[in-house]
Amino acid sequence: INLRTVYAFAREMYPKINAEHIQYGTAGFRGKAEFLDSVMFRMGVLATLRSRYREGAVIGVMITASHNPEPDNGVKLIDPKGEMLEPSWETIATDLVNVTDQDLEQMVATIIKDNKIDINSSSYVYVGMDNRYHSPRLLKAVADGVIALKGNVREYGIVTTPMMHYFVVAANTKEAYGKPTEEGYYEKLITAFEKIRNGQLETGNYRNNLIFDGANGVGARKMLQFIKRMSNSLNVNVINQGIGSGKINDECGADHVKVKQRPPISMPDLEPYSRCVSVDGDADRIVYFFNNDSGQFRLLDGDRIATLIAGYLMELIKSCNINLRLGLVQTAYANGASTDYIVNKLKVPVSCVATGVKHLHHKALEYDVGVYFEANGHGTVVFSDHAKLIIKESAQINQNAKTLLLIIDLINETVGDAISDMLLVEVILSHKGWDVKDWISTYEDLPNQQLKIKVQDRNVIETTDAERVCVRPKGLQDEINKVVSNYKCGRAFVRPSGTEDVVRVYAEASTEDDTLQLAYEIGLLVQ
């Protein structure tokens, strides 16, 4: 391969037009779509190098800006087992997109040499995108990056982020994980879901109807595909489907519902306590919500989903008479009441880690069965090989262990998957015969408040202990402690955002007024 081609390609078709330094962060590269062409081309190059480095294993590339507004886009690489890109390659990615067009050829050569990559070996890159109008253009740039290095590329078109993770794992796994196709994905989830439901559609207070807010994103399209393929196991009414004038994530979707604490636009008139869900623009986050009989909006966020799933799995495992270590992983944003409920009522051990999916995922792998969720609705469950083996053995004699095996099939273990999470929640609610009123009455959330504080340099704030303790600037934590001690059930922390140029403040206390006051006082300390 002549690296000159790469250089010529880049200069001719994907010149770097923005000199601003950008960094491969928790969400990969994100920004205004018009500046991303050269980034995409180079990520196609990098994915091909990564595939060759991993001896030809399939590497995934997902083009999306998730819950961001429509003008934004972004790109993330998926490693062979469906996990996020390895941290040392995040640094390589950052270096590669920041060099000038003139230095690109040299940079590629350096990456090849440093990592001892056989440039003539085979490679495979899978690429998919969300339904933003600039995504097809950016997908072509990624594909051209692959082709510049004479790699193989498979284009999936419009898919959810978790679908891309599924395709990569399915392609790289030798055992029967599922087919690396869109149909294979539907088939795996729907088969598991319908086997678990076993024709039982409504039990106790559980009703079979659901409003699904698709955020005008790809989740809406895929939900419609699910509905087409499901026998009547679930009646889903999809709103914000992304047709007409609706913009992705605009006044709708999981982020809007969680942050603004109100329903999305285009809601039909509903009976009180009707079950509704919102997913985000690329369908890797989900929250539930409803209105009660006084018309008050109530949210069932990631914490609620996590406690529901962990409690159910705990029960199921106990009923199989098998011994597996189950744990729940949260972040500092988890409502204190949820942690209290899961530790003291359900007796499930909880660990707390720093914000960002990769930290949660990593920690969850330490358990036999690790449930993890961020309060914003991103989460899943991971099962160790040991756990799978034990459950399989038990399934030969135990019906509940058989159900557990189906649950494993229903779960997208690689990453949070809004649709898979939703199907799991539906299974649990129907099993318990619960409506949303039953679900929300398991515990009472503490009032909580978040603030964004603009500062000169957010990185002067350094934290430890899963972001719950501030170690720098010196003395700040003592001041925070002093303020917090004046509030009943008070808890607060500050951390620099990983995605915006702000410091975030989180506060919770026993009353709404106290919470507002506490957040305000902590905000003053940071400013």
Establish whether 275 is an annotated binding residue.
no
356 scored as a contact of ligand 16G (CB under 6 A): yes
The binding track of 168-207 with respect to Zn ion, each residue x by CB under 5 A or -, is: ----------------------------------------
For 219-363, list the strands marked E by DSSP: 235-239, 276-279, 286-291, 297-300, 326-331, 350-353
Task: Indicate which residue of 66, 274, 420, 430 is catalytic.
Answer: 66
Confirm whether residue 37 is marked as ligand binding.
no
Using rule CB under 6 A, residue 38 touches ligand 16G: no
Can you tell me whether residue 67 is helix, strand or coil?
coil
Q: Which residue type, as a one-letter code, is found at position 176?
A: A
Q: Does the footprint of Zn ion cover residue 130 (CB under 5 A)?
A: no
444, 500, 501, 512: which one binds ligand 16G (CB under 6 A):
500
> Which H or E element spans position 262?
none
> Is 284 known to sit in a ligand binding site?
yes
Q: Establish if 514 lies at the interface with Zn ion (CB under 5 A).
A: no
Q: Which is nearer to Zn ion, 44 or 74 (CB)?
A: 74
**Nearest CA among 59, 70, 58, 62 for reference residue 29:** 62
Q: Do residues 241 and 221 lie in contact, with contact meaning Cβ atoms separated by under 8 Å?
A: yes
x/- binding map, residues 51-90, to Zn ion, per CB under 5 A? ---------------x------------------------
Q: Which is nearer to ligand 16G, 400 or 463 (CB)?
A: 463
Strands 286-291 and 276-279: antiparallel
Q: Tell me which stretch binds ligand 16G (CB under 6 A): 178-186, 263-271, 353-361, 443-451.
A: 353-361
For 505, phi then psi, to 5°, come to -115, 130
Within residues 279-338, the interface with Zn ion by CB under 5 A covers 280, 282, 284
- Dig out the tokens for 78 from the structure: 């998926």
Structure tokens at 365: 């792998």
Taking a C-beta distance cutoff of 8 angstroms, is the pair 192, 406 a contact? Answer: yes
Q: How far apart are CA 73 and CA 32, in angstroms?
A: 6
Looking at the Cβ atoms of 145 and 219, the one nearer to Zn ion is 219
Total of residues contacting ligand 16G (CB under 6 A)? 14
- Stretch in the footprint of ligand 16G (CB under 6 A) among 86-94, 135-143, 385-393, 496-504: 496-504
450 binds ligand 16G (CB under 6 A): no
Residue 280 interacting partner from ligand 16G, Zn ion, none (CB closer than 5 to 8 Å by kind): Zn ion
Tokens of 435: 């409506």
* Per-residue CA distances from 20 to 39, 63, 177 (Å): 12, 20, 42
Is residue 503 within 8 Å of residue 461, measured between CB atoms? yes
Q: Of Zn ion, ligand 16G, none, which one sits near residue 356, judging by CB under 5 to 8 A according to partner kind? A: ligand 16G
Burial of residue 392, with CB atoms counted within 10 A of its CB: 0-12 exposed, 13-18 middle, 19 or more buried:
middle
Handedness of CA 386, 392, 398, 401 (dihedral sign): positive
User: Which residues, 6+ apart, have CB-to-CB distance to 52 below 8 Å?
Assistant: 117, 118, 119, 121, 122, 123, 151
Segment contacting ligand 16G by CB under 6 A, of 103-111, 339-347, 371-379, 478-486: 371-379
504 binds ligand 16G (CB under 6 A): yes
Binding window for ligand 16G (CB under 6 A); candidates: 150-158, 178-186, 450-458, 497-505: 497-505
Nearer to ligand 16G, 29 or 193 (CB): 29
Known catalytic membership, residue 319: no
Residue 268 is assigned to a ligand binding site: no
Do 332 and 468 form a contact (C-beta atoms < 8 A)?
Answer: yes
**Interaction of residue 417 with Zn ion, rule CB under 5 A:** no
User: What is the DSSP code string of 124-175?
Assistant: EEEEEE-S-TTHHHHHHHHHHHHHHTT-EEEEEEE--HHHHHHHHHHHH-SS
Check binding of 301 to ligand 16G (CB under 6 A).
no
The reply to whether 130 sits near ligand 16G by the rule CB under 6 A is: no
Q: How many residues does the chain have?
A: 527
Per CB under 6 A, 510 contacts ligand 16G? no
504 touches which of ligand 16G, Zn ion, none (CB within 5 to 8 A by kind)?
A: ligand 16G
- The footprint of ligand 16G (CB under 6 A) covers 26-27, 355-358, 374, 376, 378, 497-500, 504
Annotated binding-site positions for substrate: 374-376, 495-499, 504
Task: Supply the residues annotated as catalytic.
Answer: 66
